[in-house]
Every structure is written in structure tokens, then in C-alpha cells.
Amino acid sequence: MIPHLDVVGGVGRDLRAEAERLVLGEESVPLLGELRIVGEVVSLPVLDRVVVRLWQRPDVVVHASSVPSFIAEWSYRSPCRKQTTHLRHARCTARLVQFGLWLASEEHDPLKLVDMAERAEAAGLAYVHISDHFHPWIDRQGQSPFVWSVIGGIAARTSRIRVGTGVTCPILRIHPAIVAHAAATSAVMLEGRFFLGVGTGENLNEHVVGRGWPPLEVRREMLEEAIDLMRLLFRGAERTFRGRFFTAEDARLYTLPKEAPP
């Protein structure tokens, strides 16, 4: 199992010292896996120094998030050894930095979510991904708009930022053929900027259609079959699919993007 480091700070807390103590100063801390820094402010220099410390490792992923919903994801892979100590001057050949915003649909109305995506693009972030729930996690969160309508609004108000579901469940509440239909339309509207994130769901959201709640092992099998069906429909033409869990009869997606959503 990949080890994790969690640096948790309260609102307004400067996390630099604690990040350095845990990551830069203690040899006992595992250096392979994921580092999550949670607090109000995590500056880029902190992430720089964390990654510099870990740069000899072949595969390091650093996550940082701050209140209310900001998520920064640093994926770093490098074969480099014994390079300069500062990342900006390192001559490593394979590294990727992406910063994005998680749009919490449980906490914001659809107009606010569209506005947040527009502001994320203006700030230079690479992507936004939006949760897809029928209910919020708790009542006091107070929101849960239909995610595909929100994505359409984001498409109309942005031109560069990537947009995706994080995540939608194509196995119970919504048939995978319908999810494929929605995803294909979103991909056309976003002109190659859409990505489709899927998962096995949560009873809180999926029970509403009265189909029960299968065990996790069954839901995983359902998800694999749902993905097979969606990929088939993304290929175009008229398709018939008969699986263990899902059926599609003479189904065709007429509105398709140039490339299937990743």
C-alpha cells in the first residue's frame, strides 16, 4: 500500500514549518507515495521544497488543498539523479504540473459553480472537475444541481480550461447509455476539453430510483460493464449491447466529438 503523509492545519495557519518538519527534516517519514497538505494557504515555494526533497524518487504525487475547495495536484516523474537542489533549475526531462479547482456541487448553486469555473480559467488553472450527486452529503450544504446542465453553462463561459466529472456514477441512478449521451454532448460543446470521471457511487445518491444497493464487488463489475457500453457508443454507428447488467438496443450517438472523452 502506498504510504500517505497528511499535513493538516487550521484556517489561517502557516503550514511551511510543519511541511518542512515532516518532509524535509525527518528521515523516518516515508518518501514514496502521496503528500496531502490541507489548510487555508499552501504557497508554491512549499510545494517546490517538498518536491525538491523527493525528486530522487521515480514517482511522486503531491496534492495540496485549501479552504474552501481549492485542489492543487503536482504529478512529478523523473529519472534525474544528483541534479541541482532547486526545482526551477533542475534539468529533469519528465515532469508535469497541473493546478485545478474542485467544484463542490453540494455547496454552491449552478450559477455560482459556472462563475467559479470562469474565475478558475481567468486565474490560469488547468482544469475544473465537478461532483455529481442527487443529494448533498448533509442537508445544511443545501445544494445539488444537475451536473450536466452546469457543464453546459461552463462550456458557454470558458474557452481554455478542461472540465470533467469528479465523479459521476453510470450504474444505477442513470443508465450508462444516457451518461455516454451526456458526455458526448459535453465533449462537443467543450471542443476537446471534457474528461469523464466515473465511480461506483454512494447509496445516499443512488437509492433514489429504488433499485437497491448492490455490494461493492457487484458495483465494480457493473462499472466495468458500463464503461464497455459507453466506449462502444463513443465509436459511433448503431450499436446493440447485451451484458449481465445493462442492455442497449439499436442505440446510436449522433452527436459525437472528434475523439472520445478520456
Task: Report the CATH number that the domain containing residue 169 is assigned in CATH.
Answer: 3.20.20.30
DSSP characters for 120-138? Answer: HHHTT-SEEEE---SS-SS
Residue 245 shares a structural domain with residue 187: yes
Residue 194 shares a structural domain with residue 214: yes
Please state, in angstroms and as integers, the Cα–Cα distance from residue 22 to each residue in 15, 36, 120, following that order: 11, 12, 30
pLDDT score recorded for residue 222:
97
Residue 230 shares a structural domain with residue 154: yes
Residue 118 shares a structural domain with residue 238: yes
| Distance between first and last Cα of the chain | 27
**98 within a domain of the structure (yes/no):** no
**Which one of 42, 64, 93 terminates a domain?**
93
**237 within a domain of the structure (yes/no):** yes
Segment 139-153 mean pLDDT:
96
105 and 150 Cβ atoms separated by less than 8 Å: yes
pLDDT score recorded for residue 236:
97
Residue 107 shares a structural domain with residue 136: yes
Residue 84 shares a structural domain with residue 107: no
195 and 261 Cβ atoms separated by less than 8 Å: yes
Residue 198 shares a structural domain with residue 113: yes
Percentage with pLDDT > 90 across the chain: 60
In whole angstroms, what is the distance from residue 51 CA to residue 79 CA?
Answer: 14
Residue 170 shares a structural domain with residue 44: no
Active site residue ranges: 133, 202
Selection from 149, 185, 151, 181 nearest residue 165 by Cα: 151
**205 within a domain of the structure (yes/no):** yes
pLDDT score recorded for residue 205:
87
**256 within a domain of the structure (yes/no):** no
pLDDT score recorded for residue 169:
96
**Which one of 93, 119, 142 terminates a domain?**
93
Residue 160 shares a structural domain with residue 209: yes
155 and 182 Cβ atoms separated by less than 8 Å: no
Candidate ranges 29-43, 57-71, 77-91, 162-176; pick with highest mean pLDDT: 162-176
Name the β-bridge partners of 71.
Answer: 65, 100
**Which one of 93, 126, 147 terminates a domain?**
93
Residue 81 shares a structural domain with residue 109: no
55 and 76 Cβ atoms separated by less than 8 Å: yes
pLDDT tens digits, one per residue of 88-122: 333 333 345 678 899 999 999 999 999 999 999 99
In whole angstroms, what is the distance from residue 155 CA to residue 152 CA?
Answer: 5
- For residue 117, what are the contacts with CB-CB under 8 A and spacing of at least 6? 101, 103, 128, 154, 157, 158, 161, 163
Instruction: Specify the number of domains making up the chain.
Output: 2
**Cell (9 digits) for 14:** 502557516
Residue 172 shares a structural domain with residue 207: yes
Instruction: Give the structural domain span for 56.
Output: 4-93
